Structure 1
Amino acid sequence: MTVVHSEHSAVPAGEVEVVLDLRASTLSLSGAAQYAELWNQLESALLGQSLRTGAPYQWSSHFGDITVEIVRLAPGVTVTHENTRFDVVAVRERATLSYRCATCAELGKETYGPFVCRGCADAGRRDRVCDEHVVILDGALITACPLHRPECGECRQPATFRCAGPRCRTKTAWCDAHRVAHPEDPDTDYCPSCYQLVFPVCEHSGCNGVGTMACDIVDGSGHPCGRQACTRHALRWQVFGHERTGLGLCKQHHAALRGTAPVELMRQIVSTAARRSDDFRTPRLVSFGHNLRNTGHRQLAVDYRSIYEQLRRLRDDCEGSGDRHVAGALRRADAGWQRELAALVGTAEEGERLLARLRLLVEQQDGRRGPEIAAALRLVEFKAPRVRNGVTERRGILFIDLPAPLRGLFIGAKGVNVARYRTELGVDVKFEGDRSRR
C-alpha cells in the first residue's frame, strides 16, 4: 500500500521519503488529490527497483520529464514491493510568473517583470518590465519600458537624465546634449535653463562668478529685474538699516537711483518689504526720509506729512491695480505711520523754530556777512533729545546744510561761533552727513 503526503501533511511516516521534481515538465498541479493521482501513475514503475538515497528515477512523457529522488530510506528497505509505503516530502516545480516582461514576451521569452511603466499604466495596460529592458534615467528612480522611453524636452532625442532644477523638478527629461553638470555634485545634472537659475553668471563683464544676489527692483507689473551679481560685484541699497539686508541692485538700477522719482523709490522699498517674510516690518517714515535724502530729494526728506501722503496714494494705486500684496503691507503699516507722523510733526516744527533762532544768532555774530550766511542756512532734520527715566541720554541735534564756502565763517576760528550757537540753542548743531549723526 502506498501513502502519498503533500507538502502540507504531518510528519512523514512512510518507509521511503522522496522528492517529486516537476520542473522539466509542463504540469501545473494544485491540491493533494491531483498529486495523489499523478503518484498512482508513477509508483508502478518503481516496483522491483533497487532503492538507494540520492538516486533519481526519471519518466518521460508528453508533459515532459518527471523525476523522483529518494532522500531517506527506513533501515532494511532496499527494494520496492507492493506494500512499500512512500512519502512525498517535497515537490519541485517551476516558479509561476505573476508579472511577465512584455518586451521579452514579444521576443518569445518569459521573464519576470518587477517594474511598472508609467506610460503603459496611463494607457490602461498592466505590462511590466524586466531588469534588462527597464529604462531608468539619471536623476530620478522613474521606470519606463523601451516603448515609452522619455524624449529630450528640447530636441526630442532619446533622453538620458531628468533635470533636478527648480523648473523641471525631475519631471522633464533631457538628452546628454542638454546636460549641464552640478559644479560639485557628480550625481546632479540640470538642463541649461535650470542651471542658469541655480548658478546664474554674474552680470559684471568678464566675471564668471555665480550671481548669488539678484536685483530687487520691480517693474510696473511687480516682476523683479532679476539681473544677478556675485558677492564681489554685488550692489545694495541699505534701505532697512545696517542690521537688515537691503535691496539688491544691478549696475543699471544703481546708476539710475538718484534720478528716480520719490514715489517710485518708495514703491520699490515697500515692494521689497512686502515680498519678504511676514515679520519683516515696513520702514518707518524717518527711514523713508533718510533714503530720500540719500537719493537727492532733500526737501521732501524732512516733509514727513508729504511722505505719508505719498504712501497713502501709493496704497490706493496698488489696490486699484490689483497688487493686493503690497497694498496689504501698506495698510498694515498705516496705523504706525500715523502715530509716528503725529510725533514727527511736532519735532519738525521745533526744528523750524530752532532754525529761525539760529539765523538771528548768525546775523548778530557777523554783521557784514551774517545775513548772507543766515539766508543760506537750510534745515535738514531735528532729532529731539533722547530721555529715559527722566535722564537725558542725548541732547537734541539740529542738522543743517550750508554751502561749503560759507561753512568756515559759520564755524568761526577754532569753532568759537558754532560753540556759541550750541550754548544759546541748547542743542547740538551739525552739518548734514556728519559721521556722528546717528
Structure 2
Amino acid sequence: MSDYLAGQVEAALDLRSWGAAIGGQDDLVALWSQLEPTLYGRPLRGGAVHSWDADHGTIRLEILRVAPGVTVLAADTRIDLVAVREPARLVHRCATCDRAGRAGYGVFHCRACGDAGQPDQVCVDHAVMLDGALTPSCPEHHPRCRDCDTAAVFWCAGVNCRARAAWCARHRARHPQDPDTDYCPGCYRLAFPVCEEQGCSSVGTVTCDWLGPHGKPCGQQACTRHARRWQVFGAERVGLGLCRNHSRIAGRPADELLYQICAGAARTRGVRVPSLPAFGHNLRNCGHRELAVDYRTIRAKLEAVRSRSAAGNGSAALTAALERAAVGWERELQQLRGHAAEGEQLLQRLQRLLLDQDPRWGREIAAGLSLQEYKPARTGGTSGDRAALLWVQLPDELHRYLIGPQGTRIKSYSQQLGAEVKLADRNRRGRR
C-alpha cells in the first residue's frame, strides 16, 4: 500500500465469506497488496461494493466515503480501511466436538476435565446433566451409580449424599409429594422410615428418644398413629418419643428415669430441665410414690446425674443443662421446705379438729395421720385458680371414717382449714 494522500477513500473490507484464516496484520497487508491493483480504473462512489472470487471464497470491499473530485481509483489514491469484517470465531469450543472435527460452543464446564488439566468446555448437545443438581459433565465423565457403576441419572438429595453422590434409575426412590426430589434407598429410609408397628406402612415420624448404655438414642420410629409419648415436660409441650420396647416405664429405677428425663430435655430445643415438683409428678406416675414428695432426695439424685455427666459419662449439653437448672432447684428446695412447714401446721390443726369433733374415731384417725405433701393455693396462670391442697396419708381401714357419709366430714374439715384435704392412696398410682 503506497503512501498516498490520506483520507481520499474510506472503505470496509468484508472477509466473512472468505475461508482462509487471517492470522494478523501481516496477513491482512499481504492480502490487500494482491487486491488493490485489481481496483485501479474502477469508478468510485459511496455505497458501491466491489467483490473478488477465489478458491477460498469471496472478498467484498464496500466504499463508505469518497473525497470530492475522486471518481476513479488510481495507484496514487489513498484508501483507508476503516473496518475489517471477519467471520465469528468460537472462543469457548466444545472439547467433544473438537475431537469429532466439528465446531461447538462450550457453554458448560466439565469439572473432571478441569481437574485433569484438560479442555473442559462442553456444548449443550454433549453436556450430561443429571436430575437433582446443575452439575454438568462431558460424556467421558458421565457420573456412575455409586452402587452398581452403571450410568447415573440423578443426584441423591438425602442427608447422607447431599447431591454429591450419583445413582442410576434402578436405585431411584422418589419423594412422596415432590416429583423433583429423588433419594437413594438408604437416604430414603432415613427421610421416610417405615413405622415400627407390624403391618403399618406409614412414615415413622416419631423417633424413640430413650438412651441406650452408650448414650445414643434408640432411634426406632413410629407413625403418629402408633407413636408413644412420655409427657415429661407438661401437657403444653411435646414429650419424649418411645418405641414399643421402651414404652413400659412404670417400675423402672428412679435414677434411670431421672437420667432419661434430663438427657431428653438437654437434647430437645426450647425445653428446660423440669422443676423438682415436675420430677416428683413423673416419679409418682411411674410408681415411686414416696420418693415423689421427697424433694431433698430427688435433688441429691439429680446432682449424682450431673456428677456422672461431668465426669465423662454424659454429653456436654447435658452437663450444661443440669448446671443451669441447679440454681432453680436450690430455690425450689427453700420454697418446698416452707410449704412443708405450713403443711405440718395444717396437719396439727386437722388432728385437733378430729379430737374435738369426732369423739368416736378422732383419736385413732389423728394418730394415724401423716403429711405427704402440701401445695399452697394457686391463682391465675395458664392452669387457672386452685385451692390449697393438703395431701395426707392414713391407714386404709380408717379412710371411710375421715371421709364420712357422702364425704361430709372431710369437706367440713377442709372448709375449716381453708385447704382441701386429700387422701393419698398407697395402693394405686395417684394423679395430682
Q: TM-score, normalised by structure 1?
A: 0.82
Matched, 1:104 2:97: yes
Which residue of 248, 268, 272 corresponds with 1:276? Answer: 268
Aligned in 2, Cα 1:83/1:301: closer, same or farther, shift over 3 Å? same
CA shift for structure 1 position 82: 4.0
Superimposed CA distance per residue, residues 6-39 of structure 1 (whole angstroms, 9 cap, x where no aligned partner): xxxxxx95557343215543323434x6534421
What SS does the aligned partner of 1:291 have? Answer: helix
Match of 1:223 in 2: 216
Aligned in 2, Cα 1:220/1:360: closer, same or farther, shift over 3 Å? farther
Match of 2:428 in 1: none
CA contact (8 A) 1:152 1:158 kept: yes
CA contact (8 A) 1:211 1:228 kept: yes
Which residue of 189, 214, 217 corresponds with 2:182? Answer: 189
Q: Which amino acid aligns with 2:33?
A: N
Match of 1:115 in 2: 108
Aligned in 2, Cα 1:166/1:380: closer, same or farther, shift over 3 Å? farther
Match of 2:19 in 1: 25
Superimposed CA distance per residue, residues 187-206 of structure 1 (whole angstroms, 9 cap, x where no aligned partner): 11111222222222333333
Counterparts of 2:255 and 2:21, CA distance in 1: 89
CA contact (8 A) 2:387 2:420 kept: yes
What SS does the aligned partner of 2:234 have? Answer: coil
Aligned in 2, Cα 1:39/1:358: closer, same or farther, shift over 3 Å? same
Aligned in 2, Cα 1:406/1:76: closer, same or farther, shift over 3 Å? farther
Superimposed CA distance per residue, residues 133-184 of structure 1 (whole angstroms, 9 cap, x where no aligned partner): 2222111111222222222122222211111122211111111111111222
Matched, 1:315 2:309: no
Aligned in 2, Cα 1:266/1:44: closer, same or farther, shift over 3 Å? same
Match of 1:261 in 2: 253
What SS does the aligned partner of 2:87 have? Answer: coil
Superimposed CA distance per residue, residues 387-437 of structure 1 (whole angstroms, 9 cap, x where no aligned partner): 89xxxx86531124668876444311132220233245442112459xxx8
Match of 2:245 in 1: 252
Match of 2:320 in 1: 328
Q: Which ranges of structure 1 fall in alignment gaps of 5 or more residues?
A: 5-11
What SS does the aligned partner of 2:246 have? Answer: helix
CA contact (8 A) 1:22 1:91 kept: no
Q: Which ranges of structure 2 fall in alignment gaps of 5 or more residues?
A: 426-430
CA contact (8 A) 1:151 1:173 kept: yes
Aligned in 2, Cα 1:360/1:140: closer, same or farther, shift over 3 Å? same
CA contact (8 A) 2:108 2:123 kept: yes
Superimposed CA distance per residue, residues 102-157 of structure 1 (whole angstroms, 9 cap, x where no aligned partner): 22222233433232222223233343222222222111111222222222122222
CA contact (8 A) 1:20 1:88 kept: no
Counterparts of 1:273 and 1:311, CA distance in 2: 13
Counterparts of 2:285 and 2:324, CA distance in 1: 26
Match of 1:8 in 2: none
Aligned in 2, Cα 1:91/1:356: closer, same or farther, shift over 3 Å? same
Matched, 1:291 2:282: yes
CA contact (8 A) 1:116 1:143 kept: yes
Aligned in 2, Cα 1:356/1:253: closer, same or farther, shift over 3 Å? farther
CA shift for structure 1 position 69: 4.4
Identity %: 46
Which residue of 22, 34, 38 corresponds with 1:45? Answer: 38
Matched, 1:338 2:330: yes
Which residue of 395, 398, 401 corresponds with 2:390? Answer: 398
What SS does the aligned partner of 1:300 have? Answer: helix
Aligned in 2, Cα 1:350/1:60: closer, same or farther, shift over 3 Å? same
Aligned in 2, Cα 1:80/1:354: closer, same or farther, shift over 3 Å? same
Q: How many correspondences in the alignment?
A: 420
Q: TM-score, normalised by structure 2?
A: 0.83
Counterparts of 1:82 and 1:387, CA distance in 2: 114
Counterparts of 1:186 and 1:300, CA distance in 2: 55
Match of 2:422 in 1: 430
Q: Which amino acid aligns with 1:206?
A: G
Match of 1:200 in 2: 193
Matched, 1:411 2:403: yes
What SS does the aligned partner of 2:245 have? Answer: helix
CA contact (8 A) 1:113 1:128 kept: yes
Match of 1:60 in 2: 54
What SS does the aligned partner of 1:236 have? Answer: strand
Q: Which amino acid aligns with 1:166?
A: V
Counterparts of 1:405 and 1:419, CA distance in 2: 19
Counterparts of 2:400 and 2:409, CA distance in 1: 10
Matched, 1:304 2:288: no
Deviates more, 1:209-218 or 1:183-192: 209-218
CA contact (8 A) 2:132 2:155 kept: yes
Matched, 1:162 2:175: no
What SS does the aligned partner of 1:257 have? Answer: coil
Counterparts of 2:238 and 2:291, CA distance in 1: 25
What SS does the aligned partner of 1:124 have? Answer: coil
CA contact (8 A) 1:228 1:250 kept: yes
Deviates more, 1:100-109 or 1:257-266: 100-109
